[in-house]
């Protein structure tokens, strides 16, 4: 059915921006989006935990996978909130800061050296998917400035004097000593 009346538990209300909105769960624990216009038309403040009767329709095709329904009208507030459909809060997952993650990788491979490109690696993108080469370079240079890792500037020719072609980084200086006696 395209239009349905359902009982919803309000899970969160955002009022900090011009795009105020709310989200709720159906009794089947499916997500529902509630626009600021629907909230305003209801004429009463919504807070997390409120149980309301509402008319819902399938959400836009591009949003439906994450949030299956969109609320088009809130009919009434139901006084008693059943405990069974209030969602459990999701556990907070701490994402290690980029600098700490890079330092941990450097410690794991302390006798090897890496370029910025070498650090653009799966373990970093797992936790920081939008990290670019510049952020990685800044984190590596910060670790070097703090004295936590070593840095070697590589020049492509002997008459190149002011800027290195690229840098290599390592946890231990001995990683750069191959073939040096």
- DSSP per-residue codes, 1-57: --SEEEEEEEEEEE-SSTT-EEEEEETT--EEEEEHHHHHHHTS---TT-EEEEEEE
E-strand ranges in 87-133 read: 113-114
pLDDT tens sequence across 51-97: 899 999 999 888 888 899 999 999 888 854 445 455 566 676 676 78
Q: Domain 98-176 classified CATH 3.30.56.10?
A: no
pLDDT tens sequence across 133-150: 888 888 899 999 999 999
| Superfamily name with CATH number, domain 4-83 | Nucleic acid-binding proteins (2.40.50.140)
Domain residue limits, the chain? 4-83, 98-176
Q: What pTM, to 2 d.p., does this model score? A: 0.46
Tell me, yes or no, if the two domains 4-83 and 98-176 fold the same way.
no
């Amino acid at each position: 059915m395209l239009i349905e009346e359902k009982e919803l538990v309000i899970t969160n209300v955002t009022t900090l921006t011009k795009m105020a909105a709310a989200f709720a769960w159906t009794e089947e624990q499916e997500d529902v989006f509630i626009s600021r216009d629907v909230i305003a038309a209801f004429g009463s403040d919504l807070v997390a935990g409120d149980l309301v009767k509402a008319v819902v329709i399938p959400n836009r095709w591009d949003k439906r996978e994450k949030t299956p329904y969109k609320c088009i009208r809130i009919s009434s507030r139901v006084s008693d909130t059943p405990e069974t459909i209030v969602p459990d809060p999701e556990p907070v997952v701490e994402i290690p800061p980029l600098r700490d993650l890079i330092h941990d990788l450097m410690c794991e491979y302390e006798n090897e050296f890496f370029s910025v490109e070498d650090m653009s690696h799966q373990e970093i993108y797992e936790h920081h998917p939008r990290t670019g080469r510049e952020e990685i370079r800044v984190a590596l240079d910060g670790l070097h400035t703090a004295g936590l890792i070593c840095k070697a500037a590589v020049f492509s020719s002997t008459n190149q004097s002011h800027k290195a072609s690229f840098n290599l980084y390592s946890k231990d200086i001995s990683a750069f000593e191959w073939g040096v006696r």
